[in-house]
Structure 1
Amino acid sequence: MIRFILRRLLSTALVLLVVTFVLYLLLNVALDFFWDLRASTSPNIEALYESRRRLLDLDTPAIVRYFKWLAGVGGCAIGQCDFGIAWKSGQEVTEQLQGAIVNTIKLITASTIVAIILGIAVGMISAIRQYSGFDYFITFVSFLLYSLPVFWVAVLLKQYGAIDINNFINDPTLESWWPIIIGCVAMGLFWMGALGGSAKRRVITFVAAAVITFGTIYYILASGWMQHPTIGLLGVVVIGAGAAIVMTYLSTGLKNRRVLYATLITVAVGALLYWPLMNLFYYVDMNWLWMFGLFIVAIAVAVGIGLAFRGPDPWDTARTTSFTAIIVAVLIFADRVLQGWQEYSDDPAINNRPIATIGASAPNIDGDFWITNLDSFTHLLLPSIALVLISFASYTRYTRGSMLEVLGQDYIRTARAKGLNERTVIMRHAMRNALLPLASVVPVDIITMIGGAVITETIFGWNGMGKLFIDSLRQAELDPVMAYILITGLLAIIANLVADFLYAVLDPRIRVNA
């Protein structure tokens, strides 16, 4: 294993060295370091040119400057990184990278997780319902989303997801019920196609989904939920119980009462801790270290509940209760964040228009941990949706194709012939092998997005890696561009290593060795 990793790292390091050397020389030729001086009418223009040459050391050959830059990068081995200076602003590149990387990771974390979960789930259902109306609909939507230009999606999100929603929050007047009725019918058709079954079951599913959707929308509008959003203890219990049932069904099946009771008890424990946690959040200044500690405690309690039920496979129970606990913990956290909605909206910097269209945070926001996180979430909303829509389409297509190939294998037919129920065949035998192609796609996609969602970040004014790269090119700042190339190259190496190990985890026939 160690020999394999070292061999891969050495070979890719050599490739990275050659790539950075070639790109440094090409960028040195392509970038115009005097672009801002060419139209200048200053009487001391020659002195300005000479000053710029000395600042950027342009009289030194480009090859020598590259090795000077490489020596600074090599200082990272002893904790003294020197990626150079962005000459236009005079800021060190390391300082620029710290803020850019943090912002980009914030942007892609939620969107990537949501896109992967939704893409895999919808892709699997589409494969199971092959050639059904649901399958054709998902195929159409996937190709539509995949072909949409992200800049156009971003503009639509700004108009309808921010401007119109903010207007509606300030003046919640509904002009017509037809869009809501159409949306309820669409949700009914979606769930009817997804769950399938006999004609009677399809009708029941359609009616139930449409009624639940209508009831939810009516409650949101009638109760003023958009002006004062909250989840509350009741919401935590209801959503948590639903999550417990779904997790149990996917993991072991609802017939396994031991696991079902364990997950429901996990939800009950979360509900009992709701008010104590709210008091803790009120009286103690929270930070992310506190949140991480509470998260670990929640998982530990859930594992303890799962193991306490024992059974033939207690770790299956513990795994299911852990996923349920994560959902309950996220609900409680989100509820506490939403409790600051009114204070946040009334802030002069927000001016009752909480859905942001640009930037990573609102200027001059004065608030505690919860207000600052609410501000981050409102700014994350639109760019995250834009990234989810594009990534969701590709993950859906990959999963559907892989799942169809797996479902046609002999061992799947053998599993069905042995009398295993369909849930066990899909979740235990087909899903794991269907995820193999995604093991090489997802890590690379994530690393690519860490490298910067260039168009999304530019349109939404998000100061991440992509925007840093574009701004540095515009300003002819060589050092930040080279730092970006180096970091994205290193991340690509890591992504390929992760993909290799994921293959070994998902398929026991594959071994990573020298």
Structure 2
Amino acid sequence: MLVFIARRLFVSIWVFLASTVVVFLLATRIRDPLSEARQLPDGAREAAMAEITERMHLGDPAIVRYFRWLGDVLTGDLGVNRQGQDVNAMLENAFTATIQLITGATVLAIVIGIAVGVLSALRQYTALDHAVTFVTFICFSLPLFWVGTLLKQFLALDFNDWLAEPTISPTFVGGISLIFGLVCGSVVVGDRRSRLIAFGSTTAGMAVLLTLLSATEWFTDPGLGPIVIALTAVGAALGFTTLVSGLEWKPPLQAAMATAGIGVVASLSLGPVLKDPELLTIVLLALLTVVIAAAIGWFLGGDLYRRSAIPAAVLTGVFTGAVIFTDRMLQSFADYSDSVGGRPISTIGAETPNYSGTFWESGLDSAGHLALPTLALVLISLASYTRYTRASMLEVMNQDYVRTGRAKGLSERAVVTRHVLRNGLIPITTLVAYDIGTIVGGAVVTEEVFGWSAMGKLLFTGIDEGDPMPIMAFFLVAGGAIVVFNMIADIVYAFLDPRIRLS
């Protein structure tokens, strides 16, 4: 493994260096950096041109300028742009904004896309499969700028107006309830009677829930409360245990339930700590949750079930912690909404200018600005992950070793999670690595639509000004990310498929 990594790293470095030469030479010829200075009056023209020429070393050949840039980069200095601004500071701000923009969208797209793809493959040619195929192809075909415009209109402007008087109409209640009922009825495994029962109960339950939320005006001052947290934690324990080991083994279920119970107690006892915490406090609580959940799985799992009990407990603990975090943030929604004039969902920018509030209110401010661009990126990216996962799963499910596993008496859950899903994820690894590597370069269209100043703007600023320094700073991050994540994908292959040899 170490030899493979060293060899790939050596080759990648030389490929990356060759790419920097090509990009730098192209960047120096993309536009005349003196074009604006030439339009100045006679008295200021010569001085401005001389200043830019000296700052950008325009009197030297392009290859000399490249080696000067390369020497500075090796010392950590990316130089200055045409106006004399520090490119290191520009890159830091742009990269921070890009990471903030793409992290949530990428994780959500991967998780939801793979989950829906697996479900679609397991329900091949059913109503659910056809519905997923229809929706994913629509999302894949939509232009991102048009999706962004629709989201700004209906999920920002109209939603903010609706929050002033949050009453849900009976038509909307019926439509949403029907959609949830159809989805649940399609997912349930069983005969027609079982699916009809699932459809009817889900539709009725969702209708009652939405009606109660509307009548109590929950959306003006939202929150989950201890009862919802407890029910969610128990549901997470059952769900994760079913996914990891199945409910026929008691120790993993006991570990997950114990973790859920401790999480519910913690939500009631940590009130003073979570009133206005620091980010470091949240991180330490998250790490403590993982440690405690792993310890519970270790002791309750015993020697026989420890491998299943630990992940079931850890997943339950992390999910319960996320629910508690969401509850605390929702409790601050009313105060935050009042502080921004009743417009919590923003349509432009990364933050409210000069805004200061508690930890939870600042989190809501970031979430309000991230909501629309994140949803736009998820909708567009979801189709690729869903279709690739479905196709890969269907191919693996027809292999001989899968039929052998079923013939040996393995449960369907074991066949799907241990054999089909693990081998089906190999092609997805390539797609994930490529997407992460390329999207680090900036979601250019999304940044433009939602007014984010990030990596895409850094690139276009360099192009518009004919300045190679911002362009090369962009390429260092974007190109480096592609090289690194492709190497990570090759390493992950060996863990997913033992037949692959890195030698």
Name the TM-score, length of structure 2 as normaliser: 0.96
Tell me which of 259, 278, 301 is aligned to 1:310. Answer: 301
Contact 2:167 2:214 in 1 (8 A): no
Equivalent-residue separation in structure 2 for 1:417 and 1:46 (angstroms): 84
Alignment of 1:64-79 (within 5 A): 64-75=64-75
2:57 is the counterpart of 1:62: no
Output the CA distance in 1 between the equivalents of 2:359 and 2:388. 39
For residue 105 of structure 1, what is the aligned residue in structure 2?
99
Q: Give 1:292's aligned residue.
A: 283
Q: Please tell me the residue identity of whatever aligns with 1:303.
A: A
Residues 102-123 of structure 1, C-alpha deviations (whole Å, 9 max, x = no match):
2222222222222112111111
**Does the 8 Å contact 1:84/1:479 carry over to 2?**
yes
Which residue number in structure 2 is paired with residue 234 of structure 1? 227
| Distance (whole Å) between structure 2 residues aligned to residue 251 and residue 337 of structure 1 | 30
Measure the CA separation in 2 of the matches of 1:91 and 1:332. 44
Could you say what secondary structure the match of 1:268 adopts?
helix
1:244 aligns with 2:246: no
1:321, CA displacement in angstroms?
0.6
Does residue 221 of structure 1 match 2:214?
Answer: yes
* Selected match of 1:84 from 79, 90, 107: 79
Question: Hey, what does 1:28 align to over in structure 2?
Answer: 28
Letter in 2 for 1:218: T
Which one of the candidate residues 149, 159, 176 is aligned to 2:153? Answer: 159
The change in CA–CA distance for 1:467 and 1:230 in structure 2 (over 3 A counts) is farther
1:444 counterpart (405, 423, 434):
434
- Rate the CA distance shift 1:278–1:32 in 2: closer, same or farther, 3 A: farther
Could you say which residue in structure 1 is the equivalent of 2:483? 493
Matched, 1:177 2:182: no
Q: Deviations over 1:235-272 (max 9, x none)?
A: 21121111111111111112223222221221110111
Question: C-alpha distance in 2, partners of 1:354/1:11?
Answer: 49
- Which ranges of structure 2 fall in alignment gaps of 5 or more residues? none
2:353 to 353, 359, 363: 363
Structure 1 position 160, deviation (Å) = 0.7
Runs of 4+ in structure 1 deviating by more than 4 angstroms, as ranges, are none
Contact 2:434 2:482 in 1 (8 A): yes
Matches within 5 A, 1:26-425: 26-41=26-41, 43-75=43-75, 81-88=76-83, 90-174=84-168, 176-282=169-275, 286-311=277-302, 312-347=304-339, 350-425=340-415
Q: Distance in 2 between matches of 1:223 and 1:449?
A: 42
* Secondary structure, counterpart of 1:281 in structure 2: coil
The corresponding residue for 2:445 is: 455
Do residues 16 (structure 1) and 16 (structure 2) align?
yes
Residue 190 (structure 1) shift: 1.6
Matched pairs, number: 502
Q: Could you tell me whether the CA contact under 8 Å between 2:28 and 2:62 is conserved in 1? A: yes
Tell me which moved more, 33-42 or 405-414. Answer: 33-42
Question: Is this contact kept in 2: 1:454–1:470, CA < 8 A?
Answer: no
Q: Structure 2 CA distance, aligned partners of 1:82 and 1:454?
A: 25
Q: Is the contact made by 1:84 and 1:480 (CA closer than 8 Å) also made in structure 2?
A: no
Conservation of the 8 A alpha-carbon contact between 2:255 and 2:297: yes
My pick for the range that moved more, 30-39 or 503-512, is: 30-39
Mean alpha-carbon deviation: is it higher for 484-493 or for 101-110? Answer: 101-110
Distance 2:58 2:262 in 1: 66
Q: Is the 8 A contact 1:278 1:336 kept in 2?
A: no
- Contact kept, 8 Å, 2:144 with 2:445, in 1: the verdict is yes
Spell out, residue by residue over 1:268-321, the C-alpha distance to the aligned partner (whole angstroms, 9 max, x if none): 101111122221123xx6322222211111011111111121342212101111
1:335 CA displacement? 1.7
Alignment partners' CA distance in 1, 2:502 and 2:367:
40
SS at match of 1:91: coil
**Superposed CA RMSD:** 1.7
Stretch moving more, 176-185 or 115-124: 176-185
Query: Hey, what's the Cα distance between the residues in 1 that align with 2:360 and 2:182?
Result: 38
Aligned residue for 1:471?
461
* Distance (whole Å) between structure 2 residues aligned to residue 231 and residue 472 of structure 1: 47
1:394-449 CA-to-partner distances (Å, cap 9, x unmatched) read 11001000000011011111111222222222122211111111111112211212
Equivalent pair of 1:248/1:254 in contact (CA under 8 Å): yes
What letter is aligned with 1:488? A
Q: CA deviation at 1:41?
A: 4.3
Contact 2:233 2:264 in 1 (8 A): no
Post-superposition CA distance 1:459-508 (Å, at most 9, x none): 11122222322233223332011111122111111111110111111112
8 Å CA contact 2:38, 2:49 repeated in 1: no
The match for 2:423 is 433
Q: Give the residue type in structure 2 aligned to 1:290.
A: T
Q: Distance in 2 between matches of 1:180 and 1:43?
A: 70
Structure 1 contact 358–379 (Cα < 8 Å) conserved: yes
CA 1:215–1:52 in 2, change beyond 3 Å: closer, same or farther?
same
Show structure 1 runs of 5+ residues with no match. Answer: 76-80
Instruction: Describe the SS at the equivalent of 1:279.
Output: coil
Rounded to whole Å, the distance in 1 between the matches of 2:227 and 2:453 is 38
Q: Is the 8 A contact 1:86 1:479 kept in 2?
A: yes
Mapped partners of 1:302, 1:242: distance in 2:
16
